[in-house]
Structure 1
Amino acid sequence: MNKKDLLLGFLIGFATTLFGSYLFVIIMTEYDFISGIQIIKSQGNLGKIITLGCIATLAAFGLALKFNKELIARGMVLAVMVIALLTLFI
């Protein structure tokens, strides 16, 4: 059960980051998601957009802690650390 909760948290962390990045691109730019990501990447700001997308993960993390799902919250933290490492190499 421990590995399932950790994996679930990891997947939730990635999904909420993707969702947060999607919302940011759709709301703050006049482009659709794919062309917006391509333009932002050509400008060299993709890491910043992904970092702003992690704000949604913060809300999910707070909910996981509120409902005493510490292993799921730990998986979310792991996802954020992996995303942070990936943004260094993008």
Structure 2
Amino acid sequence: MKPHIKEILIGLVIGLAANMAGTYLYIFFFSKLSLESTLEAALESDFLGSLIALGAILNLIVFFILLKKNQNYRARGVVLATVIAALAILISKFF
């Protein structure tokens, strides 16, 4: 595997993990319900896309940290993870 592809995949994993962590942190701090209850309520009331979008805010911080460290390929992976999150939001809104 080419070295830059490996770095992009590492960035993708970092971005997906940051998105999940951001979503969890938002639920932990701003929801009175448990994680499972909040996700079920969000799915029922068509709010899941908004939760994913709020979790993706953490990707912005990770992206700039990676750029500051001159890890451009990993930063590209984080952007790819953000695009995947946007596609997930699009799918959750229309289907």
Q: Normalising by structure 2, report the TM-score.
A: 0.91
Counterpart Cα distance in 2 of 1:41 and 1:50:
11
Alignment of 1:51-62 (within 5 A): 51-62=53-64
CA apart distance, 1:67 = 0.2
User: Any runs of at least 4 consecutive aligned residues in structure 1 with deviations exceeding 2 A, and if so which?
Assistant: none
CA RMSD of aligned residues (A): 0.7
Q: Which runs of 5+ in 1 are unaligned?
A: none
Counterpart of 2:60, as a letter, is: L
Question: 2:54 corresponds to which letter in structure 1?
Answer: L
Aligned pairs, number: 90
- Give me the whole-angstrom Cα distance separating, in 2, the residues matched to 1:58 and 1:11: 15
Q: 1:25-72: per-residue Cα shift (whole Å, max 9, x none)?
A: 111011111211111111111101100101111111010000000000
Measured after TM superposition, the shift of residue 3 of structure 1 is 1.1
- Give the distance between the partners of 1:86 and 1:30, measured in 2 at CA: 25
The unaligned stretches of length 5 or more in structure 2 are none
Partner of 1:3: 5
Partner of 1:85: 87
> 2:90 is aligned with what amino acid?
L
The residue type paired with residue 80 of structure 1 is T
